[in-house]
């Protein structure tokens, strides 16, 4: 039996009764690759391959040593016969360890691997790091820079020149290049292929006829040949949160801090700097070149200055080619490879600030979009997002360059269309926020938040205040539930509602009344609700306005004044019917008839469950729990409050928790769980501060104030503050767990 690598591999495989197919499957290789190794066609496998085989065979140390020892000795330096040094990374590779390992693994059993992605994403940097690693393993690696090649027929001559091969009288062909290589083992790094993609068939033939050569290519677009294995490189991962630990773990943040330090700006991560670093990375979308350019500017601007408009200005790095020195140059390089239709669409897409679908693009522009959009995706100017429904986006630095190309009347027309599109999105969302579609609608509006903001800003800037009032009238509940209430009120304050069409003015007043309920500004809530009823008191809009007005009367301590509005709205179904039933229960509580309030609140809960709207259900559960607590039914009250807290935590709705958490805190006080009560109060205060929500129902506020005073006296200053601070730092899982604690106590 021979002692070559193939002989040893075959013997070890057969000793374990494995077929080549079984070994290939276990090792993550192809059957063809295993066969080539055993036949000696590949005599010097990569270390990754040897390790994979040893693991798949379950070898002990002795047999592993035998397998490794059978690999012919590798040269430790780059062979000198081509006279050219192998490329090595010119800087530490930050945040790409997984990709580096993946590409090295792929090159063990793939003949052609292409790194694709947008300009500035770091394709060349990763490719050079791969080449450096292979060189360290003794592989012969030659880099071929094709950035200045425009004629596909010149690709092969450029490869031959990089290899140091002599020119032939008849020119370089696939056959002459293969003959000159002479079967030698070689890795070719073909950098910047996007402008010579028409040469892909020739490269495919070279791959096919040079079996000992591995090809690592970089391109903003794939070659689209059968031998190709594409690795699409995306931006670096951004921080999940602003917490110091999450920022420190983010590859984008690590790159920013590393390059800032190299520029002479040392930044230590703490509670102040971590959110700034995270925001800089998010604005740059984790695009490595953008991060590096911004870091270089930190020498002048400092960390805080990187949030300004000048973060990506300047001339860039002198050791980069002109096409990569600035984001503008990177985008121009890809832009100039497009036809006119794709260039026009690229500029048009800059009006989108959030991910978009093909349907939204078609609604924005008149002409067909599939072909030009496909070209933009292929050239990596537009990114397709994962998911079953195709959605796309422009990275922020690239979008800014697209926007710079959208000027003049055409730009104004597209921005008008964009605003109209998202005015309609808000109109469609309005009814859905009041039924079982609430959670899904909130998720959709969250995803499109930047576009909604841009649309409102454009409508304001162009004087269409009626459209702004209508839009906020549709989505005020979303603003309240997603902690944008004060922002909504600031926008409404810029409108002269009295100068608008009555229906539009009423919509603005309804939105303002709802948001004033959130913030606890009850007198102004009453003013806006009264104006809304006077302007448009009929139909569904009128019902909403009257119920808001009734709500204001109750919360202002005037339950009798609420009754006429409740009488007018008797018999309304759905969301409005459940809301009305809840107000009736609050009227009874405010009037001192708590026993009468319980069946009314239970009816409100039952109606809310039938509607399937989580916010409405949480609000009615809080009222029912409050009434039960006032009658001493602690167990039932705790059960309903715990359900409300759990639903709110899981759907990220802070407003209802500013009522349910103090309710649970009060129960905890009466049960003697003082530390837990202080945690609930601390969590409620934190949520109220973030959402601008204020407990407006007088009975709830007065009870919470009494509970809080007792709690301070029971715990003492230091213990109270420690528990309060723990509550302020609580997450959703903590709140659910603490609610379960109360349930286990009553």
* Class of residue 170 by CB neighbours under 10 A (exposed 0-12, middle 13-18, buried 19+): exposed
- Tell me, yes or no, whether 423 and 566 share the same domain: yes
- Contacts of 36 by beta carbon, 8 Å cutoff, 6+ apart: 42
What is the distance between the alpha carbons of residues 274 and 424, in angstroms, rounded to a whole number?
38
Same domain, 417 and 566: yes
| Spans in the chain with pLDDT lower than 50 | 1, 74-90, 316-319, 322
On whether both 434 and 373 belong to a single domain, the answer is no
Question: pLDDT by residue (tens digit) across 118-142?
Answer: 888 889 999 999 998 898 888 899 9
- Pair type for strands 213-219 and 186-191: parallel
Answer with the one of 21, 53, 69 that is the final residue of a domain: 69
In angstroms, how far is CA 659 from the centroid of its own chain? 31
The dihedral of CA 582, 588, 592, 597: what is its sign? negative
Rounded distance between C-alpha atoms, residue 676 and residue 738, angstroms: 7
Query: What does the DSSP 8-state code read for residue 253?
Result: H
Residues 626, 646 within the same domain: yes
Same structural domain, 658 and 720 = yes
DSSP element (H, E) containing 545 = helix 539-555
211 and 189 fall within a common domain: yes
* Number of structural domains the chain divides into: 6
Sequence-distant (≥ 6) Cβ neighbours of residue 21 within 8 angstroms: 31
In a domain, 259, yes or no: yes
95, 257 Cβ separation under 8 angstroms: no
Q: Are residues 702 and 650 in the same domain?
A: yes
Q: Are 253 and 239 a contacting pair, CB within 8 Å?
A: yes
Q: Is 694 a member of any domain?
A: yes
Domain that holds residue 120: 97-232
Q: Are 666 and 703 in contact (CB under 8 A)?
A: yes
User: Domain holding 450: CATH number?
Assistant: 1.25.40.10
Question: Is there a single domain that holds both residue 111 and residue 223?
Answer: yes
Let me know whether 223 and 334 are in one domain. no
Which residues in 245-357 belong to E strands, given as ranges?
A: 356-357
User: 576 in a domain, yes or no?
Assistant: no
pLDDT the model gives residue 646: 94
Residue 661 lies in a domain: yes
Task: Please report which helix (H) or strand (E) contains residue 216, including its range.
Answer: strand 213-219
Do 432 and 534 lie in one domain? The reply is yes
Q: Is residue 90 part of a domain?
A: no
Domain annotation covers residue 172: yes
Does any domain span residue 356?
yes
Query: pLDDT digits over 455-512, tens only?
Result: 999 999 999 999 999 999 999 999 999 999 999 999 999 999 999 999 999 999 999 9
402 plus 417 within the same structural domain: no
Judgement on whether residues 483 and 350 belong to the same structural domain of the protein? no
Check residue 168 and give its pLDDT: 65
* End position of a domain, from candidates 374, 406, 438: 406
Last residue of one domain, picked from the residues 361, 378, 406: 406
CA of 649: how far to CAs of 615, 660, 661, 687, 723, in Å?
Answer: 12, 11, 11, 11, 20
Q: What is the DSSP letter of 323?
A: G
The pLDDT value recorded for residue 4 is: 83
- Nearest by Cα to 648 from 536, 736, 588, 574: 736
Nearest Cα residue to 292 out of 252, 328, 336: 252
Q: What is the pTM of this model?
A: 0.75
Task: Determine the Cα–Cα distance for residues 520 and 694; give it in Å rounded to an integer.
Answer: 5
Q: Is residue 477 part of a domain?
A: yes
Q: In this structure, what CATH number is given to the domain that contains residue 65? A: 1.10.260.40
CATH number of the domain where residue 212 is located: 3.40.50.300
């Amino acid at each position: 039996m021979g002692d070559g690598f193939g002989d040893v591999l075959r013997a070890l495989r057969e000793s374990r009764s494995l077929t080549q197919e079984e070994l290939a499957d276990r090792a993550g290789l192809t059957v063809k690759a295993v066969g080539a190794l055993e036949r000696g066609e590949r005599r010097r496998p990569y270390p990754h391959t040897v390790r994979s085989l040893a693991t798949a065979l379950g070898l002990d140390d002795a047999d592993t040593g035998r397998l490794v020892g059978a690999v012919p000795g590798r040269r430790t330096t780059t062979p000198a016969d081509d006279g050219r040094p192998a490329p090595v990374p010119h800087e530490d590779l930050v945040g790409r360890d997984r990709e580096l390992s993946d590409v090295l693994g792929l090159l063990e059993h793939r003949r052609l691997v292409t790194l694709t992605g947008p300009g500035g994403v770091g394709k060349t940097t990763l490719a050079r790091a791969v080449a450096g690693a292979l060189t360290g393993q003794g592989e012969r690696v030659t880099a071929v820079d094709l950035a200045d090649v425009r004629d596909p027929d010149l690709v092969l001559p450029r490869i031959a020149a990089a290899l140091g091969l002599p020119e032939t009288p008849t020119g370089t062909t696939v056959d002459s290049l293969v003959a000159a290589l002479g079967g030698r083992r070689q890795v070719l790094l073909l950098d910047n292929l996007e402008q010579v993609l028409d040469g892909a068939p020739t490269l495919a033939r070279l791959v096919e006829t040079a079996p000992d050569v591995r090809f690592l290519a970089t391109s903003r677009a794939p070659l689209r040949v059968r031998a190709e294995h594409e690795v699409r490189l995306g931006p670096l991962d951004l921080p999940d949160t602003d917490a110091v630990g999450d920022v420190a773990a983010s590859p984008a943040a690590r790159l920013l801090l590393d390059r800032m330090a190299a520029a002479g700006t040392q930044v230590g991560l703490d509670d102040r700097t971590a959110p700034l670093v995270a925001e800089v990375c998010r604005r740059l979308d984790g695009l490595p070149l953008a991060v590096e350019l911004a870091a270089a500017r930190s020498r002048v601007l400092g960390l805080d200055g990187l949030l300004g408009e000048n973060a990506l200005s300047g001339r860039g790095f002198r050791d980069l080619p002109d096409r990569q020195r600035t984001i503008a140059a990177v985008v121009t390089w890809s832009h100039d490879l497009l036809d006119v239709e794709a260039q026009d669409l690229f500029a048009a897409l800059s009006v989108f600030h959030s991910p978009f679908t093909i349907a939204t693009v078609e609604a924005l522009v008149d002409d067909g979009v599939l072909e030009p959009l496909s070209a933009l995706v292929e050239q990596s100017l537009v990114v397709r997002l994962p998911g079953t429904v195709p959605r796309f986006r422009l990275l922020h630095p690239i979008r800014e360059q697209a926007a710079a190309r959208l000027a003049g009347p055409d730009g104004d027309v597209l921005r008008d269309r964009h605003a109209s599109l998202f005015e309609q999105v808000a109109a469609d969302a309005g009814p859905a926020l009041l039924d079982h579609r609430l959670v899904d609608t909130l998720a959709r509006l969250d995803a499109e938040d930047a576009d909604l903001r841009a649309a409102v800003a454009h409508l304001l800037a162009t004087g269409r205040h009626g459209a702004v009032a209508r839009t906020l009238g549709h989505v005020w509940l979303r603003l309240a539930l997603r902690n944008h209430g004060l922002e909504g009120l600031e926008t409404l304050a810029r409108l002269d509602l009295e100068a608008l069409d009555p229906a539009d003015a009423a919509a603005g007043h309804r939105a303002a009344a709802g948001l004033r309920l959130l913030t606890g500004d009850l007198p102004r809530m009453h003013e806006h609700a009264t104006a809304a009823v006077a302007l448009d008191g009929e139909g569904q809009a009128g019902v909403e306005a009257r119920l808001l007005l009734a709500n204001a009367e109750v919360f202002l301590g005037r339950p009798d004044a609420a009754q006429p509005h409740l009488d007018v709205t008797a018999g309304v179904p759905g969301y409005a019917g459940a809301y009305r039933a809840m107000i009736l229960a609050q009227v009874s509580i405010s009037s001192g008839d708590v026993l009468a309030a319980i069946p009314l609140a239970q009816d409100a809960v039952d109606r809310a469950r039938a509607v399937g709207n989580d916010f409405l259900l949480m609000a009615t559960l809080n009222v029912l729990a409050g009434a039960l607590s006032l009658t001493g039914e602690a167990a039932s009250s705790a059960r309903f409050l715990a359900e409300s807290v759990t639903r709110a935590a899981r759907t990220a709705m802070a407003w209802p928790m500013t009522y349910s958490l103090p309710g649970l805190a009060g129960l905890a006080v009466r049960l003697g769980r003082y530390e837990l009560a202080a945690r609930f109060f601390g969590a409620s205060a934190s949520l109220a501060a973030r959402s601008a929500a204020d407990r407006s129902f007088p009975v709830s506020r007065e009870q919470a104030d009494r509970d809080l005073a007792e709690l301070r006296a029971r715990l003492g200053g230091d213990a109270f503050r420690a528990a309060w601070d723990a509550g302020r730092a609580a997450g959703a899982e903590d709140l659910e767990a603490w609610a379960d604690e109360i349930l286990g106590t009553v």
